[in-house]
Structure 1
Amino acid sequence: MSKQQPTQSLTETLSLLKSLIQIPSTTLQEHAVALHLRSYLQSHNWHVHLQPLPSHPDRFNVLAWRGTPTDSLDSLTGRKFKVLMNSHIDTVPPHIEYGETETRVTGRGACDAKGSVASQIVAVEELIREGRVAEEDVGLLYVASEETDHIGMIAASSLPISTNYLIVGEPTELKLALGHKGVLKADIKVTGKAGHSGYPHVGRNAIDALVDVLGALKSAPWPHDPRLGPTTLNFGSISGGVAANVIAASATADIAIRVSTSAAEVSSLLLSTVEKVKEGLQDGIAVEVSVRAAMDPVRCETVDVEGVETFVAGYFTDIPYLKGDHKPLLYGPGSILVAHSKDEFVEKADLEVAVGVYKQIILGLVGRG
């Protein structure tokens, strides 16, 4: 039996994805891939604007549109797309070279998130060729720095455009997200008094106190949302003390809470739980809580697409950093479980499915008017 030839859709997606993966674009180094994406899009009749990041003028977001007879950004002022396709062009380090098997594409960015970028572009181009959407209905926005500080998407908020719907490409295992959880990051610092471990009464053990604090947090009644599920707690790192025979004078913990309700509610519970523990600690023990970041969860729009399941994403995305009254959606090929790993990959079959589903999502949203 002869091997089935890939469809034109998959061939175009694989070709674009290969070219994107072959260009290293770890965060801070997105310059070359942005230039390549501009060249590709311009060769496919897109108008393209490279938006420099204010603090890093050699790093760019890529905005592309059709249906306007000029590539001047000024010509877009006031344009409201029906749908804006979005993902990110930066990756985590280290760069991993492109690879390919009969069924998979491997390399850094294969699923997070260059697979989404390639699938989205091919989907939009097919819809335009087929005459199923007007050229001006859909725009493209691909941003830098999603993997670290989100300054690409923050900068994109200053572009003179808006949209009804924002379709964000991330590895979702071909499922549509009902939303993704927010995040609260905090440091807990305990200060005690050093002393000889043979004479516990002469010191104040900061590690003992930290264990009490963390135990209380672990058993706290973290809130549950009927759509996004439970709020979850992770103790990311713990440090303290100097030696086994010395009473620990200091101890710290770095924690992250995935928020399903509201960051304000979770922050309040965090602080009140720590305060209750402090009331029972020995004199001479000080506990400080510093909240470094607090972001609310995101609730996503969905479209009914036959065979496409829904889920709740446990990771965070760029979605809340683009200002506007648009409704976000989250969908893409690949799994977050292999993203950031040395074995990152995306199935070729998933890329083809993603193109088809992106097309159905776009048609569903454009049809809403």
Structure 2
Amino acid sequence: MRVAQALSHRAFQPTLVGALFLFAMFVMPSVLDATWIFNFTQMAIYAIVAASVGMLYGRVGLVSLGQVAPYGIGAWVTIRLAYLTDVPYPGVFPLLLIAGGLVAAIFGLLIGLPALRVSGLYLALVTLLLAVGIEIALNRIKLPTGGPGFRGVAFAIGDREPMPRPFVADGDVAFFRYAVIVAFVMFMIAVAFLASKPGRAWASVSQSEPSALASGINITRYKLLAFGLAAFMAGVAGGLYGAHVQSNSSIAQFDRQAALFLIAVVLMGGISSLWGAVLAAFFATIMLPFLTQNVIGHNFWNDFALTIFGIGLMINLIQTTKAMEKKGLLE
């Protein structure tokens, strides 16, 4: 019954989603070259992270600028475990993704604790500070590259090894299909939650916390559930990112600038629908690189990116202020 309810939810149109899924699985690999396959793989991964942000902000009303933190944590955990285990063995890599997602979910619950006391711009600042803390930690310990010890860092370039991939997704095209399937599963999980009791509770909390509380909704439980689920999704995406770029992973994907960029493109794609996450990922990983390489030029990139950050943050401020006025928190 829950599956049928999820499939009938307005945020998930089965026909269109099925067509896009089949197109991505069978048509795109046959017409795109290696560079575009790489970019569209990154799009599938980024869409999961964008969906986690959109779910928090658009569905629960929680303004989080810290989703790159569980994204980075999931990447570190999955990469480290991948070097310690026999990834090509069937079924191991999905377990590593789940492990990275669960560790990230625990961190997401810790991020969610301030949300019980603060909201709006204060929550945005708190989550951004937490993201900066994770950035500092990752800069300190580095992402594993196949070396010895707990950190697993190989400092000599010749000692670095690519992160192992599952045998069913060893090549770039196969891994693109693998990433699309995982993204599809993550979106289905999000839809299942949104179409069930948690989704209704989140909608009520987003509209008015006092009204939700008066209706008997446990606000604490559902806020923490939202942060945990969003962090789990971002953590799984982090694991995919590590396998995607292998030994060329970069801390820049998880820094404060990436955090601001993420919220900016999600706001532009749309926060009220999961389709907005797909648009945000397309804009961030396909359109902007294409414009940079073919239209704008590399010298314009930094100024253009900063403009996007400014627009996104301005929209963020306006929408948050309106939401607080609606809830009676501002005069």
When Rg is computed on C-alpha atoms for both structures, the one with the higher figure is: 1
Larger RCO: 1 or 2 (CA < 8 Å, sep 6+)? 2
Q: Please identify which structure carries the higher helix content.
A: 2
**TM more than 0.5:** no
TM-score (norm 2): 0.24
TM norm structure 1 = 0.22
